[in-house]
Chain A
Amino acid sequence: MGNKAKFNLYSIPYFLWIVFFVIAPILLVLYYSLFDIDGNFSLVNYKNFFTPVYLMMTLNSFWYAFLITFFSLLFAYPTAYLLTKTKHKQLWLLLIIVPSWINLLLKAYAFLGIFGTYGAANKFLETIGIGSKQILFTDFSFIFVSVYIFIPFMILPIFNALNKLNPTFMDAANDLGASTWTTFRRVIFPLTLDGVKSGCQVVFIPALSLFMLTRLISGNRVITLGTAIEQHFLVIQDWGMGSTIAVFLIIFMFLIMALTGARKRGV
């Protein structure tokens, strides 16, 4: 009895948090999405979402988010693996995390300088004989900077999963005659899949609604759903349409969570 009362008391902050900061905002977004620009109740925003402009934008967002996640994973997994093999793991890990303490805007502005026509990247290209290229405002620079920003969030869960891995499994696989590649494919990777999944979630979901970088680094050549939401709220002040796009983003995110988390810990 006493135990139960204690549990209820401690759970109050949690429920308050959930109600005020999770459920209420989602309901508000849903509510606003049901009004057109003049404040009349209508479903016109949902109809507008299924026009080529917004469908194209959705496809764009998914494509770029996919690329960002893919490249993050491609670089994060070997990095995390290497980290677990080093002597001072925690120190090296810290060094990778430190840049994420610096403000995003500051880093984006730094890249404006680095990737500029007269920036360090082009100077390097010239010295090695390739010659100066336009780097800023291209798909490459957008993906590069996004990956740079998101990669610590991919490395961390993978590192934790690899670090927890029992080394005797590798020894066993080795004893049973598995090659290094087979050991990785059949033992290490499946056992760290949870880390990979959560890494992908943490990268893919925010990447889907990136907005500031689309202007700074890609000069509005990449338009994502996040950019559209920002426009609708701040410039047009059409909260209805902005909310409608947000509703679709929430739906997409739930779908992604369901897909990547479905068979968690299944035998």
Chain B
Amino acid sequence: MKQLVRVFLTIILVSVVLLYITDRLNRSQGLSGGNTLTVYNWGDYIAPDIIDQFEKETGIKVIYETFDSNEAMMTKIEQGGTTYDVAVPSEYMIDKMIKEDLLIPLDHSKLPNLKNIDERFMDLPFDPDNIYSIPYFWGTVGIVYNPKMLDGMEITSWNDLWDRKLKNEILLIDGAREVIGMGLNSLHYSLNDTNLKHLQEAKAKLDTLTPNIKAIVGDENKLLLANQEAAIGITWSGDASEIMSENEDLDYVVPSEGSNLWFDNMVIPKTVKNIDGAHAFINFMLDAKVSAKNTEYVSYSTPNKAALEYMPKEMVNDERFYPSLALTDKLEVYENLGKRNLATYNELFLEFKMHRK
């Protein structure tokens, strides 16, 4: 018994000391009280010196926190434990967050730099009139491939993937809308198709791709493709540019049949404490020079038209990440199809996964 009491006392003592140290650390970083702004963004999705610049210009201290999935982000904002002032969800999440009443409308008069954003990327179906969100970066879904491993073969479309020579070479991404969407696109249907017949047709077509598929994986595809574990990967353009910087042999293509166009967007969630600071931050990020610098670091595609002037030519003219207008017209943004239709997509995806070689 005595020993037990001693153990408990030690644990309590250690906890108290640790609590005291955390408190001191927080205070020395100016985390408690004062003029602070909590930004909730994806990991490694902002140039670090931009935060310093913002802090110097405005005197607002930025606390930068990261998440790795939209779902995790939404759960944390729903719980409301932390006062997040700015968050960066993907477009399909915005619709959900608006419906769940988790976002507050933006005051456009406090965002003069909004004029920098390309008209094409404003007023999109997930948030008409940009009442709640401003696009931060955008991209596509496409094919990363290694021409060296394929004897110089060139891939330009989804239908090229059905080539018999590509046996066991493809890594698919583990996402129902991406994979079923690829089937739909290859049949020239819309990515937002909800016609069950079309969906089943797409699934049947995907089943015939099975011999070429090596695996259906998540984030680890970056590692696998960079290590030349497979010659072809289906993934988002952002991940693609990351993989390509690891392994220079790789190339990326937006399939000619069309594909998905996605957006990550800045929003102000319900948990906001520093509304003025949040607007100031969003406006700052929309500044042409800041956005150019940020884009160079993150290397995703920026919706900021004015920023393109300040960016290196070879980056702006890279059709893989800034596709021509003709191709952009074929890209579609995911619409929120509702729970039922999404369930159908996922059921079909599950059935497709169970299809054996």
Contact = CB atoms under 8 A, between A and B. Distances in A.
Interface in A70-129: 109, 112, 116-118
A56 B354 contact: yes
B342 A236 contact: yes
A219 B216 contact: yes
A159 interface: no
B49 to A, nearest CB: 31
Interface in A48-72: 53, 56-57, 60
A220 B354 CA distance: 8
A238 B343 CA distance: 8
A112 B223 contact: yes
A37 B227 contact: no
A28 interface: no
A186 interface: no
A148 to B, nearest CB: 19
Contact of A220 (B215, B223, B229): B215
A237 interface: yes
Contact of B354 (A53, A112, A235, A237): A53
A38 B338 CA distance: 10
A136 B216 contact: no
A38 B342 CA distance: 12
B188 to A, nearest CB: 26
Given A219-B216, A220-B216, A223-B353, A112 B224 contact: yes
B350 A223 contact: yes
A215 interface: yes
Nearest to A219: B215
Contacts, number: 69
Nearest to B340: A37
Interface residues on B, range: 20 to 34
Contacts of A219: 171, 214-217
Interface string A192-216: 0000000000000000000000011
Contacts of B229: 116-118, 136
Interface in B325-357: 339-340, 342-343, 346-347, 350-351, 353-354, 356-357
B174 interface: yes
A234 B354 contact: no
A8 to B, nearest CB: 20
A221 B354 CA distance: 7
A136 B228 CA distance: 13
Interface in B128-174: 168, 171, 174
Contacts of B216: 215, 219-221
Interface of A: 37-38, 53, 56-57, 60, 109, 112, 116-118, 134, 136-137, 215-216, 218-221, 223, 228, 231, 234-238
Interface of B: 71, 168, 171, 174, 176, 214-218, 220, 223-224, 227-229, 339-340, 342-343, 346-347, 350-351, 353-354, 356-357
8 contacts: A38-B339, A57-B354, A112-B220, A215-B216, A215-B217, A221-B356, A228-B350, A236-B342
Given A223-B353, A231-B350, A238-B343, 11 more contacts: A37-B340, A37-B343, A53-B347, A116-B227, A136-B229, A215-B174, A215-B218, A219-B171, A220-B215, A221-B353, A228-B350
What are the 10 tightest A-B residue pairs by CB atom distance, in nearest-first order?
Answer: A219-B215, A220-B216, A137-B215, A236-B346, A220-B353, A223-B354, A236-B343, A223-B353, A117-B229, A37-B339
